[in-house]
Amino acid sequence: MSNILSETSSLLWFFLSMLSLFIFLAFPIIVNLLSRSNSRSSKDSPPSPSKLPILGNLHQLGTSHHRTLHSLAQTYGPLMLLHFGKVPVLVVSNAEAATEILKTQDHVFCNRPHRKMFDIFWYGSRDVASAPYGHYWRQVKSICVLHLLSTKKVQSFGRVREEEVVGMIEKVRKSCGDSNSMAVNLTDVFSDVTNDIVCRSVIGKRYEASELRGPMSQLEELLGASVLGDYIPWLHWLGRVNGMYGKAERAAKQLDEFLDKVVDEHLGKRGCDDADGEGQNDFVDILLGIQKTSSTTDFQVDRTIMKALIMDMFGAGTDTTLAVLEWAMTELLRHPSAMQKLQYEVRRVAGDRTHITEEDLSDMPYLKAVIKEILRLHPPSPILIPRECMQDTKVMGYDITTGTQVIVNSWAISTDPSYWDQPLEFQPERFLNSSIDIKGHDFNLIPFGAGRRGCPGIAFAMVVNELVLANIVHQFDWAVPDGLLGRHTLDMSETTGLTVHKKLPLVALASPHL
Ligand code: HEM
284 neighbors 262 (Cβ within 8 angstroms): yes
Residues in contact with ligand 1 (CB, 6 Å cut-off): 1, 128-129, 141, 144, 149, 312-313, 316-317, 320-321, 324, 380-381, 384-385, 447-450, 453-457, 460-461
Ligand 1 center–CA 456 separation, angstroms: 6
CA 331 to the chain's CA centroid: 19
At 388, is the secondary structure helix, strand, or coil?
strand
DSSP-derived letter for residue 126 is -
- Per residue in 314-342, pLDDT (tens digit) is 999 999 999 999 999 999 999 999 999 99
Say how many C-beta atoms besides its own lie within 10 A of residue 192's C-beta.
Answer: 18
Cα 446 to middle of ligand 1, angstroms: 11
Q: Cα separation of 236 and 257, whole Å?
A: 27
Give the residue whose CA is nearest to atom 9 of ligand 1. Answer: 448
Segment 148-170 shows an average pLDDT of 96
pLDDT tens across 17-45, in order? 555 545 444 544 444 444 444 434 455 99
Q: Is the pLDDT of residue 165 over 50?
A: yes
Query: Are 332 and 470 spatial neighbours (Cβ–Cβ below 8 Å)?
Result: no
Q: Which atom of ligand 1 is nearest to the CA of 440?
A: 16
Task: Tell me the whole-structure pTM to 2 decimals.
Answer: 0.90
How much distance in Å is there from the Cα of 113 to the middle of ligand 1? Answer: 16
Residue 480 DSSP symbol: P
Confidence tier at 294 by pLDDT (50, 70, 90): confident
pLDDT digits (tens, 9 = 90+) for 64-73: 999 999 999 9
Greatest Cα pair distance, the chain, in angstroms, is 78
Distance, CA 316 to ligand 1 centroid (Å)? 6
Q: Which residue has the higher pLDDT, 463 or 11?
A: 463
Residue 483 · residue 137 · CB < 8 Å: no
Other CB atoms within 10 Å distance of the CB of residue 446 = 28
Write out the DSSP string of 141-200.
HHHIIIIISSHHHHHHTHHHHHHHHHHHHHHHHHHHTTSS-EEEEHHHHHHHHHHHHHHH
Q: Give this complex's ipTM.
A: 0.99
pLDDT confidence of residue 178? 75
Indicate whether 219 pLDDT > 70.
yes
Taking only the tens place, the pLDDT of each residue in 41-61 is 455 999 999 999 999 999 998
- Please, which pLDDT band fits residue 224 given cuts at 50, 70 and 90? confident
Per-residue pLDDT band at 15 (split at 50, 70, 90): low
Share of the chain above pLDDT 90, in %: 76
Q: Nearest C-alpha to atom 40 of ligand 1 is from which residue?
A: 129
Using pLDDT thresholds of 50, 70 and 90, give the confidence band for residue 8: very low
Q: What is the pLDDT of residues 372-410, one digit of tens each?
A: 999 999 999 999 999 999 999 999 999 999 999 999 999
The atom number, within ligand 1, closest to the CA of 380 reads 5
Average confidence (pLDDT) over 276-298: 79
Atom of ligand 1 nearest to the CA of 141: 41
Mean pLDDT, all residues of the chain: 89
Torsion 213-258-155-103 (CA) sign:
positive
Mapped onto helix, strand or coil, the DSSP state of residue 229 is helix
pLDDT score, position 37: 45
**Averaged pLDDT, 200-204:** 94
CA of 252 relative to ligand 1 center, distance in Å: 21
Q: What is the pLDDT of residue 278?
A: 46
**Probe residue for ligand 1, chosen from 455, 464, 466, 469 as the CB with the greatest number of ligand atoms within 8 Å:** 455
Ligand 1 atom nearest to 410, measured from its CA: 10
Q: Give 417-474 pLDDT, tens digit per residue.
A: 999 999 999 999 999 999 999 999 999 999 999 999 999 999 999 999 999 999 999 9
Q: What pLDDT, on the 0 to 100 scale, is given for residue 185?
A: 96
pLDDT tier at 270, thresholds 50, 70, 90 = low
**CB < 8 Å & 24+ apart, contacts of 132-136:** 133/390, 133/452, 133/453
pLDDT at position 472 is 98
The rounded Å distance from CA 265 to ligand 1 centre is 28
- Rounded to the nearest 5 percent, the helix, strand and coil shares of the chain are 55, 10, 35
Q: Which of 478, 451, 461, 481 is nearest to 133 (CA)?
A: 451
Ligand 1 atom nearest the C-alpha of 460 is 27
pLDDT at 171 exceeding the cut of 60:
yes
Q: Is the pLDDT of residue 251 over 60?
A: yes
Q: In what order do the strands lie in the sheet with 79-84?
A: 79-84, 87-92, 405-408, 387-388
The per-residue b/e assignment along 210-246, b for 16 or more CB within 10 angstroms, e otherwise, is bebeebbebbbebbbbbbbbbbbeebeebbeebebbe
Query: Is residue 176 marked as binding?
Result: no
